[in-house]
Structure 1
């Protein structure tokens, strides 16, 4: 029998655990252990639900920070984030309470919360507009919105100079659609013209706000959170407006990232009030900083329309992986799973693991995935009806209930963190850790 090469290796190096192999070899780390918060660490997150649209034609303000008890229990909430082992929190300052008028601010609540986050070592992804604006700004039909919002973003970035991660405006497409096309929130209009007006003002506000953030943090990381939508029309002859809607789901990101939409969408924009000058302004280039494409996915984001017109929830037919991969192929931006949950607390652990499988599948394709978010920390209120009526129905979708007791999904998330908490953004990503240099490149090569 021929001599094995292993004979000499064993003679010179012993039975195993060879010196040097611990540096990423067979004895290297597997990625197990709670997150470290280091620059290459995959970002496991949760969020505090902070929506604040108006309903009943501006007479009623939905403030979910109040309705979910956060103004009272903010210290407890932040401690829960810390104790779970999470290092990252999607957090929305109450814009409607903070920006009192041009150049006028009330920082009292924000200062307390931000100081506590810093003390606990929590990295915020700071959400600066979440479905509403202060009363003095009116609504999303106001053409002055971009200038005033930019001022606010600059003031926040200057005051909290240690913050690097921002979502200037949460779910621009959903904000515009529910406010100006579906008639549920804020201006409560139902027209294509109002929708185009809202979306152009929101995207312009996001761009201008991003620019002001970059003035204070040239290395800012912008996590654009957008709903991952899709409608399956189960008819042999397709309905034009439904097919157009499947294209319009990209509209906010197209304008934000200077990606030319197709001819049908451009014609729709032109017919409904977007001027050539405005379109050219959007297409000059994408905003500054490092851009992350965040996609939110709930089973209800995906719909099926039957031949008789009945609409059914199509949960997980395509799922976050397939829908987000379409977005990735369109924009070629690093991605993040920025929101997910289910209303049934018994099903939530399974849903969590299914969403994590989606993340793993995306990583297998080599797509850089920055992080994952269970949204939200605490149960929500009235999202079963999209906040359109103030009924006080508790949606049991949080990691913790309204009394701050853990739901089953909290333990599932802890288990996930202990197993995967120290993986890198991409496999072997130590070589490509996020650095603190300002973003400089303006084109993709």
Structure 2
């Protein structure tokens, strides 16, 4: 039987926080600057090689490079150089929660402007990359951005109601579709990774009247962007499953929530009997589109990171045993990031950040997390460090399938 070829050269992926939103009380923010990722780009990419990770999500800051249709991409040159030197394959994120100051996401020029930028970005990075394959995430977490910027008022355009949230989600989805088509004019075989959170919303125990509202958020609103991009809703916008391409499921502890009529919902506490196994959520999302998928972001916090990885990998393998076409798990971020609201370091990265007396930010790998990663790599027959040419062949997914069968993990609600 022929080997079943995976999409990526390694099963475990990583990435770097790269938000550039216009934040509610701080103006334009650049998380790459806050983490000093550009300054430490060589060190950050070098860290991935001994981890056996050959793929990293990386951002191009649309608000910072687009000057009214003129582009200056020089800010990503350190990333391109580090990727070439350390042989790391990027998934380029073209809009991570931020758009240029002179644009209105509800304006007629939003989608064409994004498409022109996406075309220019694809041209820039592919001209400076040693061959392919080429991967892009045109608009990151459209559905979540709809909530945070359209209903909760955290970021521009600072919407405060469900209708604005839905309008923003559709506007970003339309721009995404236009961006995919523009990228493929430059790189016809480019692959797209469309990313949003897996969520589960339940009504408060004393409010059964909110059960239908919670169900709508779980089974309808959570899938709006993927549905539109995949052509299942609003087909007049030009979506299709080919444009949707690869599904990226993000999974964090706060993705399972109790419904609130106003503001963000309340995360379910560990041990709550309303929590669902991650395996079930992955399976439901995959069956809706039956496209290749990855866990595109996941991480625990502080000392819980190793146990979180163990739970997520076990749930992912349980989903593989149900037939889900899972191609990888992304440990995100590689380097710690600040809490958007408080500025405190989250301690959710593969490496923590320590501020030295001179103000520089030192990367310190969290060894128990690294050890948990290497343990899973050995159990799945994956490399624990990269050789000189990690792109010489993609992974054989049959290895993952056989390991999943042998390990036979059960879907489990007791993960936290």
TM-score category, normalised to shorter length: 0.7 to 0.9
Shift of 1:67: 1.1
Cα 1:178–1:256 change in 2 (3 A) is same
8 A Cα contact 1:340 1:375, kept in partner: yes
Q: Is there any run of 5+ residues in structure 1 with no aligned partner, and where? A: 1-22, 30-36, 261-278, 431-445
- The partner residue of 1:249 within 222, 227, 230 is 222
The answer to whether structure 1 residue 119 and structure 2 residue 85 are counterparts is yes
Cα 1:110–1:357 change in 2 (3 A) is same
Q: Which has the larger radius of gyration?
A: 1
Shift of 1:368: 1.2
Aligned length in residues: 367
The answer to whether structure 1 residue 417 and structure 2 residue 390 are counterparts is no
8 A Cα contact 1:141 1:194, kept in partner: no
8 A Cα contact 2:9 2:54, kept in partner: no
The answer to whether structure 1 residue 325 and structure 2 residue 292 are counterparts is no
Secondary structure at the aligned position of 1:219 is classed as coil
Q: Which residue of 2 aligns with 1:97?
A: 64
Secondary structure at the aligned position of 1:347 is classed as helix
Secondary structure at the aligned position of 2:226 is classed as helix
Aligned ranges 1:27-426 → 2 under 5 Å: 41-56=9-24, 60-102=27-69, 104-138=70-104, 140-161=105-126, 162=131, 164-233=134-203, 234=205, 235-246=207-218, 247-260=220-233, 279-282=234-237, 284-286=238-240, 288=242, 291-305=245-259, 311-314=266-269, 317-343=275-301, 345-382=302-339, 387=340, 389=341, 391-402=342-353, 403-407=362-366, 408-420=368-380, 421=382, 424=395, 426=397
8 A Cα contact 1:301 1:315, kept in partner: no
Shift of 1:134: 2.1
Q: Deviations over 1:101-136 (max 9, x none)?
A: 21x111212123113202321111111111111223
Q: Which residue of 1 aligns with 2:410?
A: none
8 A Cα contact 1:41 1:425, kept in partner: no
Rounded Cα–Cα distance in structure 2 between residues aligned with 1:427 and 1:65: 37
Cα 1:425–1:126 change in 2 (3 A) is farther
Cα 1:176–1:39 change in 2 (3 A) is closer
TM-score (norm 2): 0.81
CA RMSD of aligned residues (A): 2.8
Cα 1:339–1:38 change in 2 (3 A) is closer
Secondary structure at the aligned position of 2:13 is classed as strand
8 A Cα contact 1:223 1:291, kept in partner: yes
Shift of 1:223: 0.8
Q: Deviations over 1:334-371 (max 9, x none)?
A: 1110001122x211101001100011111112221111
Rounded Cα–Cα distance in structure 2 between residues aligned with 1:113 and 1:394: 23
Secondary structure at the aligned position of 1:136 is classed as coil
Cα 1:40–1:136 change in 2 (3 A) is closer
Q: Is there any run of 5+ residues in structure 2 with no aligned partner, and where? A: 354-361, 384-393, 402-416
Shift of 1:323: 1.1
Q: Deviations over 1:15-37 (max 9, x none)?
A: xxxxxxxx99xxxx9xxxxxxx9
Aligned ranges 1:432-443 → 2 under 5 Å: none
8 A Cα contact 1:321 1:358, kept in partner: yes
Q: Deviations over 1:361-394 (max 9, x none)?
A: 1111222111110110111101xxxx2x4x4211
Shift of 1:303: 1.2
TM-score (norm 1): 0.76
Rounded Cα–Cα distance in structure 2 between residues aligned with 1:229 and 1:290: 19
Rounded Cα–Cα distance in structure 2 between residues aligned with 1:113 and 1:323: 34
